[in-house]
Amino acid sequence: MLFEKIIFATDFSGTSARALDYVRRLKDAGCRQVVLLHVIDQREVHVLLAEPAGFAVAEGEYEAELLAKMRKNAETKLDDVRRWLEETGLSVKAHLIDGIPATEIVRIADAEHVSLIVVGSHGRSNISQILLGSVSENVIRHAKQPVLVVRRIEKE
């Protein structure tokens, strides 16, 4: 089957949730295995760490605490998505990775030999003027596999 093994990359945004529903519906196109990926954006981590840490907490301690919180939060959300997909009858292999989202999506897609990449058109920054977010745009530009881009619902 052409789309037996696919990758779905999520940032847990509303548009990602819409894309997730297409992943479920891809069962009708032969999809059986989903590589589920969330990337803890290292640029976002650096931005957050540039914020004033406050006087009470030593810098190193603050950094470790922040990273642990981000990871814990992402683990919980990724686990929810995994369970939801498994309940629809798909087999799931989840990856939680530190890095730059588009780079990791393209890399894991190759490493896992998927035949399709599913992403949302937008994510959490959801800037209304732009046609595509930078992650979806860079995935389309660099991926070897076809990319299914699920549009957000435009607000009036």
Binding status of residue 126 toward ligand ADP by CB under 6 A: yes
Does residue number 73 form part of the binding site for Mg ion (CB under 5 A)?
A: no
Does residue 15 bind ligand ADP (CB under 6 A)?
yes
Q: How far apart are CA 107 and CA 83, in angstroms?
A: 24
In the block, tokens 């798909």 appear at 90
Of 87, 99, 128, 127, nearest to 9 by C-alpha is 99
73: Cα within 13 Å, side-chain hemisphere: 10
In angstroms, give the least distance from the CB of 56 to ligand ADP.
Answer: 30
Candidate residues 7, 106, 123, 152; the one interacting with Mg ion per rule CB under 5 A: 123
Contact pick of 6, 38, 90, 108 for ligand ADP (by CB under 6 A)? 38
Q: Which residues bind Mg ion (CB under 5 A)?
A: 123, 125
